[in-house]
Amino acid sequence: MQKHILISLMLLLSAMYAEAQHYDRGYEAVPSSPFVRKGTWVAGGTLRYSQHVNENYKMLLIDDINSRGYNISVSPRLLYMVKDNMGVGMKFSYDRSMLDLASAGLTAGEIQMNASDCYQISHKYSAHAVCRAYVPFGNIKRFALFADVMLGGSFKQGKAFNAGGDYVLGTYEKAYTLELAVNPGIVAFLTEHMAMELNVGIFGVSYGWKDQVRNQVTSGSTNLTSAGFMVNLLSIGVGISYYFL
DSSP symbols for 79-146: EEEEETTEEEEEEEEEEEEEEEEEEEEEEETTEEEEEEEEEEEEEEEEEEEEEEEEEE-TT-SSEEEE
**How many residues does the structure list for the chain?**
245
Return the bridge partners of 172, or none: 159, 213
What is the mean predicted confidence (pLDDT) over 94-102? 94
Residues 44 and 75 sit within 8 Å (Cβ to Cβ): no
What confidence tens digit (pLDDT) does each residue in 19-64 have? 444 455 555 555 567 899 999 999 998 888 899 898 888 877 777 8
Q: Is the pLDDT of residue 14 over 70?
A: no
Neighbours of 243 (CB within 10 A): 21
* Predicted local confidence at residue 201, as pLDDT: 82
Q: Is the pLDDT of residue 231 over 50?
A: yes
Q: Residue 57: name the closest of 39, 45, 69, 71 by CA.
A: 69
Return the bridge partners of 83, or none: 86
What confidence tens digit (pLDDT) does each residue in 130-180 have? 999 999 887 778 889 999 999 999 999 999 988 877 777 899 999 999 999
What confidence tens digit (pLDDT) does each residue in 167-224 have? 778 999 999 999 999 999 999 999 889 999 988 888 889 999 999 998 888 999 999 9
pTM: 0.79
